[in-house]
Amino acid sequence: MQVKLCFKILEITKFLKIKGNFVVKIFQGADYEDFYKEMKQNFMFVKSLKPKSSNKKSNEIYLIGLKKK
């Protein structure tokens, strides 16, 4: 369910100007790879970041999309 919400939020980036940036918090799960691939299609660079403050057991991760295509 959380990844579905992220996909909906990604749809809003169509209003983001070209070369704009986007950050989303996501939990790695079954649909994570599909979401990552979708971000790669929309942004020139996609980076993943797990904050140091995040629990090591947590699936929490941030995806950063740089330079919207």
52 is catalytic: no
The answer to whether 39 and 64 have CB atoms below 8 angstroms apart is no
Q: Please pick, among 25, 50, 67, 69, the residue that the annotation labels catalytic.
A: 25
Residues 6+ apart with CB under 8 A from 55: none
The answer to whether 59 and 29 have CB atoms below 8 angstroms apart is yes
Residues serving a catalytic function are 25
